[in-house]
Chains A and B, each alone.
Chain A
Amino acid sequence: MSKRTWHHPEIPADDTTVAWKSVGQIEDSPEFREWLQREFPRGAAEMADEEDAETSRRSFMKLMGASTALAGFGMAACRRPESYILPYANAPEWVIPGKATYYASSMPRAGGATPLVVTSFEGRPTKLAPNTGHPDSAGTDNFAQASVLDLYSPTRSRQVLNHGRPASRDDLAELVADLAADPSARIGFVFGRDDSPTRSRVAKELQGKFAGARFYAYEALESEAVKALGGRAFVADFAKADRIVSLDCDFAQLDPVGPVSAFFRRRKPEGNDYDGKPSADNLNRLYVLESGYSLTGGMADHRLRLKPSEVVKAAAHIARKLGAGSAASGIDALPAEFQQWIDTMVDDLAGANPGTTLVVAGSRQPAAVHHLVAAINAKLGNIGEGRTLRCVHTDGAGFGDLAQLVADLQAGSIDTLVLATPSNPVYDAPADLKFGDALAMAQTSIHLGLRADATAHACTWHLPACHYLESWGDARSANGVHTVVQPMIYPLYPDSASELDLLLALLSDDGKLIVGEGEEGAPTPAYQAVRSTFEGLAGKGEKAWKDFLREGFLADSSYDGADFAPDESAAARAVGELQPASGIELIFATDGSIYDGRWIDNGWLQESPDPVSKVTWDNVALVSPKTAKKLNIYDQIVALETPTAAVPPDGEGEHRKGPVVKITANGVEMEIAAQIGFGQAEDTVIVPLGYGQGYNAENAMGFAPANQSHVGQVGINTGSNAYPLRTSATAYSAVGAAIATTDRSYPLAATQEHHSMYGRALAREVSTLEDRKTHRDFEAQLATVKKHGMDSHIPPNISLYKREDRQGNDLISDKIHQWAMSIDLSSCMGCNACLVACQAENNIPIVGKEQLAMGREMHWIRMDRYYAALETKDEEGNKVVDEDNPAMIPQPVACVQCENAPCETVCPVNATVHTEDGLNAMAYNRCIGTRYCANNCPYKARRFNFFDYNKRNPLVPHNLYRGPLGEKQVGTSAHLQRNPNVSVRMRGVMEKCTYCVQRLKDAKIRQKRGQKQEALAAGDSTAVEVSTSTLRIPVDSVKVACQEACPAEAISFGNLHDEGKARVNRAKAADRNYDLLNYIGTVPRTSYLARVKNPNPAMPGAEKIGRATIHMH
């Protein structure tokens, strides 16, 4: 049975951009063809031929007969049980059953806490949103969005452990009391790299009480800048930066240097609110020098691939060219091929006004680069109040680092160690420090953590930590604004304690560990400590405190400014410590899904595809195509993707495998699956950290079972551990690495080829620079955005279906609300914040690696990531595509709510129909699971529940196939996170984005209460005329989950009837607005804004920038 395919006309002759999503596609592998042709992933039971059909029908009859017969026995299930309503005995204040309450809080983390507003239903926090009133608010990232799941994680640690075995909390409490009673105790405290004013204050008091106490801070991927700057930090202000140079700094995602929303506001030529004339002057210009693609690199106007050792040389080159400091002279010259590129960039920097440029160095860069960059910024006049960089004193000053801790442990100057760092040092400390051995030298070690990880098992005691949504605390945001951490719920597990609870117990005289509430409902010491810190800053008084809790922050509080003068001698010392470069360079990367490994047990993050490689559930070694060819793994990677190779016995579509390679560095070897990384520097291998924390006998890599208890059901058997290859001198990149191929391969679940769309000009890009061939300037390019690709020559489609009812009224008739969305590709960087936020809001289940490999992921938003490069001709006239150095362009796609929706016309049971206000609604209870709608969706936005992912645990291997015999997960703690206003879908039901219809409904119903107010005011309800303005919700007052989470403010959503007052309508009025697959006539409500690149005309290759319009064929 073949499918009728749409034959797309040729691409316009002047368009020479070649686009691809995966290596399979650029090699045109049969498997990718199959994904494209299929429209709906494998596993959808299709009848291949007549013979198949016969078997299917017969077995269908058999099954039906059997199930009808069995139905008689199961009749008891029909009887609805008596149910009960349990009101509170004493009603808590402010709680209205069925209505959410919202509280300000924040998520403490290194680099500045994320200010949040927490949605809470009857005391149950379910959803996090950014606190937009906070001065340092910059949306939320995927980690912040997913952190609410950690609170309810079934694998969260709940029990006190003693030497890895369950123990009584009373024994530990006794130990704490004994410690508190002994002022001569020599205690070492290890905190994270986050700043908390109360913790800093308590640490000082602890130092006063215990003269022998020592304090350390450690996180696995802490910035090397800490070493260079010692207790000081630079905070960037992107609003003022016109020219930005990033030296391997992923400031938009994993490597924050300041609130990043301001950067994205400067990526929209019409201004952030789309209210101005498009102008290149509104835009900033971003130069990125990095080794492998980061999301920041994807946003770059100019990007240069450099090996880690070359990034150092580039920094030195810039410093030399600007005459910034003398330390750069100690570094070798940059290879000549890159010099012109960097020289032109430096001219652009030097030509700009002082204080309007910004050079940032990534946290992975060695201290020497941070010294050089500081000197460069000083030279460019960027440092100081009102400039692009502020130098501040952080609270972490005076804390020792891990090397000092190990030295102190070995010297025996610490008897008791309290480990409260969110990292997992036994697993993730640099190998040469031998932290595990040093830890064993402490008489007593107490680990406080959310997970019973490797460190928890290595310590003598493990105390389960309270989640930040369960504990009192405070934190500092990026600029040091004093921010509250409020508990939303009483600690779920009675054995747990927060960091402050433990510290305050040690500080108290009786050493009593008080968690949740004090005796007779008194507030805990942690609350009192947070409050007294606050009162020290803002004075006593109930009002100031209440305001602080309501707003979530103390206005006008900030880090103290610090003076900065480049330290030449320290810089020269740091330069002296640089490693000489040789051979293949191995880069230890921060993982986009699980960070340093702390999120390994978070299902949402594990299942969200890596933003660049699109691999889920595992880490992979990435190598560039050329290097892969050189290493003889390219053919293995591409060949393994074909359907003929390695078809698993059950015949289903999880073909993707990565060849396992053996990587050796620093004398240690590891095995990991390899994939192709586009846009990566040659002779580099990128290995994300954090995986491989535990394996059982089921792991596909063939490792011996190890550390099973260190990791939960989500994180077990995922990826390979790269930490053992890492030493403190080579913390982020190691030189002279060796790669050997093996004859094994490893199954990978990657989403990059799933749900591939056909079509021309899916994502569109323009440049502020005049096109040399067509002589179109910026304005002309903007004017032609709507005419890219097919839209230039296809006549408008006319639908055969009339959009009216039998009386001739328009079906989309609502005069009050008509919903629409726009997504600005110019500021979307492709992080997964929206994807995870959607998952949290809409009760979207995870499906597990096995199911995901078959293309059954349930994410309502998928983040497409395209690579594009221009096709050129070589001397012999052959077409060449520079696939080594492509542009990267992300595109989030969810249901676009077509006005002429192809899915609706094919549903046999009317389960998907339009609402009057323009939504393509999905009635789950009506859906019978034919999946015709998904087959007919050109955007591939529909997701099908192949199994009851909510009821059956998809993480137990093959569990889903066991039907009623499989392990159930009803009533586990994770279900507490569910949004009560969204149906939990069952097996056999189609689902998709609904524009968060539950939020729209809530807003509309709230608005209708206005009628009552008017009637009350008038005194007689029968005399009141309710106007449209009473019933229409205020402009831009309702936000959908993805829009709310977006740090780039790329998503606008609102009411078409609000016209120019709503941001979405101004965005849609912009020239660069276009409809996805416009030519097929679906009239989508979600439109996209073309990406704008702002290249520097003098740069080499500037004419090729801004041409990454994506055609898939």
Chain B
Amino acid sequence: MANFFPRWTNVLPLKIAICAGALAGGVVMAFTWYATPKTLTVGYQPSQPIPFSHKIHVDQLGLDCRYCHSFVDVAGHSNVPTSNTCWNCHQHVQKDSPKLQPLRNRMDPTLEHPDFGKPVEWVRIHKTPDYVYFNHSAHVNRGISCQSCHGRVDQMEVVHQDQNLSMGWCLECHRAPEKHLRPLEEVYNLKYDPEKYIADNPHLQVETTEELGLKLKEQWQIEPRESCATCHH
């Protein structure tokens, strides 16, 4: 019987394996890069039309979150400031900064820019799916800080997504809110240090962050819901 397989076929399985492996790897990489939504990943940090720095405004200047996000404690939606909120100060401050040119175009009637009166198109960073109902006021009025979901925004030059906002992540806190509860006075204080707070308030008779959370949970009747209709309707 003749030699049915020529000699070169000896390395064929290896070649096939390498090719298949490369292909599979390529598919995985392509999928990861191409098909996973960037807007849902932790660390998503798009560039904004105006490079607004939270670090300067919150950390250095000491603005409260609610100066700009003014309806966060009354509405479900935390509003992004309207252009006239920015303009209140920036018609007097940083009048020549080129970074603020888009704002001036929209707000300064003397420039007669075609964009006058149009909104600034901020890129959305935190997005929950359409079928999720999330209400900011329900959280911040009950002792959950901005920081729990958005991280140390006061330290961010450019804002990025700090938490993954998945349903499992939501439920983690709904099952054990005591890890995140803090006194209502401290909700907007991003520099809040629970250990320091407990040390400063010995009358509360609590030792740990969690004990403080449990105390507040009981006092305030905080019973976060886990049933579907809480967020989906």
For chain B residues 142-201, which have a beta carbon within 8 Å of chain A?
142-143, 183-185, 201
Q: Is A1022 an interface residue (CB 8 A)?
A: yes
Verify if A906 is at the interface (C-beta below 8 Å from B).
Answer: no
Q: Which residues in B have their C-beta under 8 angstroms from that of A83?
A: 39, 123-124, 127
A99 and B75 within 8 A (CB): yes
A83 to B230, CA, bound (A): 25
| A78/B37 contact (C-beta < 8 A), A924-B131, A983-B130, A1024-B219 known | yes
Please report which residues of chain A, range 798-823, place their CB below 8 angstroms from some CB of chain B when the two chains form the complex: 816
Bound together, the chains give a CA A38 to CA B121 distance in angstroms of 53
Chain B, 123-140, contact with A by CB distance < 8 Å: what is the 0/1 string? 110010111010101100
Give the number of residues in B that approach A within 8 Å (Cβ atoms): 59
Q: Report chain B residues within 8 Å CB of A984.
A: 130
Q: Point out the residue from A86, A998, A1008 that lies within 8 Å of B233, measured CB to CB.
A: A998
B20 at the interface (CB under 8 A from A): no
| A579 on interface, CB distance cutoff 8 Å | no
A87's partner among B83, B131, B233 (CB-CB below 8 A) is B83
Closest A residue by C-beta to B185: A1021
Residues of A within 8 A of B183 (CB): 1020-1022
B35 contacts partner chain A, Cβ-Cβ < 8 Å: yes
In the complex, whether B21 has a CB less than 8 A from a CB of chain A is no
Q: How far is the CA of A78 from the CA of B35 in the complex (A)?
A: 6
Which residues of B from 94 to 120 have beta carbons under 8 Å from A? 106-107, 117-120
A531 to B59, CA, bound (A): 51
Contact residues in A for B120 (Cβ distance below 8 Å): 86-87
Q: Once bound together, how far apart are the Cα atoms of A436 and B38, in whole Å?
A: 63
A581 nearest CB across to chain B (Å): 57
Residue of B nearest to A998 (CB): B233
A1015: chain B residues within 8 A (beta carbon):
184-185
Instruction: Identify which of B71, B122, B141 gathers the most chain A CB atoms within 10 Å of its CB.
Output: B141
Answer yes or no: B216 CB below 8 A from chain A CBs.
Answer: yes
Find chain B residues with CB under 8 A from A922 CB.
Answer: 228-229
Interface status of B57 (Cβ within 8 A of chain A): no
Q: Assuming A91-B84, A96-B79, A1028-B221, is B233 touching A1021 (CB within 8 A)?
A: no
Interface set, chain A 901-922, CB cutoff 8 A to B: 911, 913-916, 919, 921-922
In the assembled complex, A84 has its CB within 8 A of some CB on chain B = yes
A80 on the B face (CB < 8 A):
yes
State A795–B230 Cα separation when bound (angstroms). Answer: 36
CB-CB under 8 A from A1001, the residues of chain B are 133, 135, 229-230, 233
Whole-angstrom distance between the Cβ of A255 and the nearest chain B Cβ: 39
Is A994 located at the chain interface by the 8 A CB criterion?
A: yes
A1016 to chain B: closest residue by CB: B184
**In the assembled complex, which residues on chain A have CB atoms less than 8 Å from the CB atom of B123?**
82-85
Q: Report the count of interface residues on A (CB-CB < 8 A).
A: 54
A1011 interface contact, C-beta 8 A: yes
Q: Is B81's CB within 8 Å of the partner chain A? A: yes
A90 & B83 in contact (Cβ 8 Å cutoff): yes
Is B3 an interface residue, CB under 8 A from the partner?
no
A1026-B220 in contact given A79-B37, A994-B233, A1021-B184 (Cβ < 8 Å) = yes
Inter-chain contact A80/B40, CB cutoff 8 Å:
yes
B73 lies within 8 A of chain A by Cβ: yes
- Which of chain A's residues has its CB closest to B118's CB? A89
Cβ–Cβ < 8 Å partners of B221 in chain A: 816, 1026-1028, 1031
Chain B neighbourhood of A1024, CB < 8 A? 219-220
Is the beta-carbon distance between A89 and B82 smaller than 8 angstroms? Answer: yes
Chain B residues within 8 Å of A981, by CB? 133, 233
Q: Indicate whether B76 reaches chain A with its CB closer than 8 angstroms.
A: yes
On whether the beta carbons of B142 and A1011 are closer than 8 Å, the reply is yes
B92 within 8 A of A: no
Q: How far is the CB of B108 from chain A (nearest CB, A)?
A: 12
Instruction: Identify A97's interface contact among B38, B79, B216, CB under 8 A.
Output: B79
Is A997 in the interface zone, CB < 8 Å from B? yes
Given contacts A97-B71, A97-B77, A1008-B141, are A1022 and B201 in contact (CB under 8 A)? Answer: yes
By a CB distance below 8 angstroms, the chain B residues around A99 are: 71, 74-77
User: Is B34 an interface residue, CB under 8 A from the partner?
Assistant: yes
Which single residue of chain A is at the shortest CB-CB distance from B120? A87
Tell me whether B137 and A1005 are in contact (CB under 8 A): yes
Once the chains bind, are B232 and A925 in contact (CB under 8 Å)?
yes
Which of chain A's residues 997-1018 have a Cβ closer than 8 Å to chain B? 997-998, 1001, 1005, 1008-1009, 1011-1012, 1015
Could you tell me if A75 and B34 are in contact, using CB atoms closer than 8 angstroms? Answer: yes
Which of B36, B141, B227 touches A913 (beta carbons < 8 Å)? B227
- Assess the B122–A89 pair: CB atoms within 8 A: no
With A1005-B137, A1008-B142 given, can you name 7 additional A-B contacts, CB distance below 8 Å?
Answer: A84-B122, A85-B122, A87-B81, A90-B117, A97-B79, A816-B221, A1005-B138
The 7 closest A-B pairs by CB, nearest first: A98-B77, A921-B229, A1021-B184, A80-B37, A923-B228, A915-B227, A86-B119
A-B contact pairs, 28 of them (CB 8 A): A75-B35, A78-B37, A79-B35, A80-B40, A82-B46, A84-B123, A84-B124, A85-B123, A85-B124, A87-B79, A87-B80, A89-B119, A98-B75, A98-B76, A99-B71, A921-B233, A923-B229, A926-B232, A983-B232, A1001-B133, A1001-B229, A1008-B138, A1009-B74, A1012-B141, A1020-B183, A1021-B183, A1022-B216, A1026-B221
Q: CB within 8 Å of A: which residues of B?
A: 34-40, 46, 71, 73-77, 79-85, 106-107, 117-124, 127, 129-131, 133, 135, 137-138, 141-143, 183-185, 201, 204, 215-216, 219-221, 225, 227-230, 232-233
Binding site for B on A (CB under 8 A): 75, 78-80, 82-91, 96-99, 816, 911, 913-916, 919, 921-926, 981-984, 994, 997-998, 1001, 1005, 1008-1009, 1011-1012, 1015, 1020-1022, 1024-1028, 1031
